[in-house]
Amino acid sequence: MDAADPLAALRDRFVLDTVTDPATGLPDVYLDGNSLGVLPRTVPDRIADVLHREWGELRIRSWTESGWWTAPERVGDKIAPLIGAGPGRVVVGDSTSVNIFKAVVGGVRMAGKGCTEILVDATTFPTDGYIARSAARMTGLAVRPVEPARIADEVTERTALALVNHVDYRTGALNDLPGITHALHSAGALAVWDLCHSAGALPVGLDAHHVDLAVGCTYKYLNGGPGSPAFLYVRESLQERFESPLPGWNSHAEPFAMDPSYAPADGVLRGRVGTPDILSLLALEAALEVWDGVAIEDVRTKSLALTDFFLECVAGYVPAGRARAVTPQDHRRRGSQVSLRCSGAGEVMDELIRRGVVGDFRHPDVLRFGFTPLYTSFADAERAAWVLGEVLGALPEVGPAVAGG
């Protein structure tokens, strides 16, 4: 399967095989790219140049001469094709949480006058819920948690927007972005999508599906490095009405006029806030070079093949009944990770990592294995399932409701 994989050569664009297990001599199998993507080979030299030449020698001149000032929108335009967005719709900077605040408050301000509530994906990654509640408190609305599959039924004319995860961080389930967006629009509500677990893993089609606002992280499938800045997407036809709750000087129409009164810039630049974090932004820009010549549709094809194969290997190698897949079998409902429920999951993951298979554990009983088609091989998938089988075969089975630490 690896020999027939048209994306196999992309693996060389990453720093892999640096850590080998002393017992087997085999390199680690890294299936945690849905938490922190692997280092792309392009990054270290680029950052050395940013430090030594751009900062060390050119210093302040680099804001113009090295293109630092325009990096948030330039890097946004590089992410755009991966999520189905045209140019001028994506801006990069600040954390995912901060961007969710911008998107939710900005969305509420664009919603109808009579709106009283925000719907939030009931199984959301927690920060989305916390931030949505803060945004609701500060705009006088209420938050109502709703299962993504129920949004079409629950949305009313009082709903300002729904904040929904494209892929559930715990189960790996893919939510129906076109359908939910359409249902929200039919009720007059806006659709705000969290793409943390889909950007770089599968086609999103933001423009095609008329998504209103979206936010995503860049350190998972986009390999931008630990805590690299997040992105904000604002639909082109809404940009003129987008009012950020964080109108820093970088989003001003004339930032260097130092005008005491605020006038927003045109377009998605309104999503900028303060001085951009240049080291992290330029590391991300270099990391995005691994996408040169890669079509996100091919990434999706390989992702599904990898997760299918892993599920098949788990069925073959893991003792029956010891681990249950919670990631949907249906391709239309699957992201790019496989989550397995198993008793003692925390201890099981510790042991997997000791044996060179790096996934992660999510409270209370979920083993997560992320598949990054740019660098994960079919051999990786098989070895992970094999080692999981060894670990679960060797470990005594503990009670069904054990919560790991």
User: What residues between 175 and 214 interact with its own copies by CB under 8 A?
Assistant: none
Q: How far is the CB of 332 from its own copies (least distance, A)?
A: 26
Q: How far apart are CA 64 and CA 80, in angstroms?
A: 23
Active site residue 233: no
List the catalytic residue out of 220, 302, 322, 362: 220
Size of the site for its own copies (CB under 8 A): 81
DSSP 171-197: T-BBP-HHHHHHHHHHTT-EEEEE-TT
Please give the radius of gyration of the chain, using alpha carbons only, rounded to the nearest integer.
Answer: 22
Nearer to its own copies, 335 or 370 (CB): 370
To the question of whether residue 97 is assigned a binding role by annotation, the answer is yes
Binding to its own copies in span 252-291, by CB under 8 A = 252, 256-260, 262, 273-281, 283
Q: Which conformational region is residue 400 in: left (phi greater than 0), alpha (psi within -120 to 50 degrees), or beta?
A: alpha
List the catalytic residue out of 28, 77, 194, 360: 194
Q: How far is the CB of 241 from its own copies (least distance, A)?
A: 16
Binding to its own copies in span 220-239, by CB under 8 A = 225-230
Q: Is 53 helix (H, G, I), strand (E, B) or coil?
A: helix
Nearer to its own copies, 50 or 80 (CB): 50
Contact call for residue 242 and its own copies (CB under 8 A): no
Binding to its own copies in span 14-73, by CB under 8 A = 15, 18-19, 30, 32, 35-36, 38-39, 43-44, 47-48, 51-52, 55-60, 62-63, 68
To the question of whether residue 21 is assigned a binding role by annotation, the answer is no
Residue 388 has which token pair? 């999981």
Active site residue 317: no
Neighbouring-strand partners of residue 337: 370
By the 8 A CB rule, do 335 and 201 touch?
yes
Q: Is 153 helix (H, G, I), strand (E, B) or coil?
A: helix
Active site residue 220: yes
Contact call for residue 97 and its own copies (CB under 8 A): yes
Q: How far is the CB of 301 from its own copies (least distance, A)?
A: 26
To the question of whether residue 197 is assigned a binding role by annotation, the answer is yes
Dihedral angle sign, alpha carbons of residues 9, 204, 149, 140: positive
Q: How far is the CB of 136 from its own copies (least distance, A)?
A: 11
By the 8 A CB rule, do 187 and 155 touch?
yes
Contact call for residue 161 and its own copies (CB under 8 A): no
Q: How far is the CB of 208 from its own copies (least distance, A)?
A: 28
Q: How far apart are CA 221 and CA 239, in angstroms?
A: 27
Q: How far is the CB of 3 from its own copies (least distance, A)?
A: 27
Q: Reply yes or no: is the peptide bond before residue 148 cis, omega within 30 of 0.
A: no
To the question of whether residue 275 is assigned a binding role by annotation, the answer is yes
**Residues in Cβ contact with 219 at an 8 Å cutoff, skipping those fewer than 6 apart:** 36, 37, 225, 226, 227, 228
Binding to its own copies in span 140-159, by CB under 8 A = 145
By the 8 A CB rule, do 99 and 142 touch?
no
Which residues form the catalytic set?
125, 194, 219-220, 368
Residues within the annotated binding site for pyridoxal 5'-phosphate? 96-97, 125-128, 194, 197, 219, 249, 275
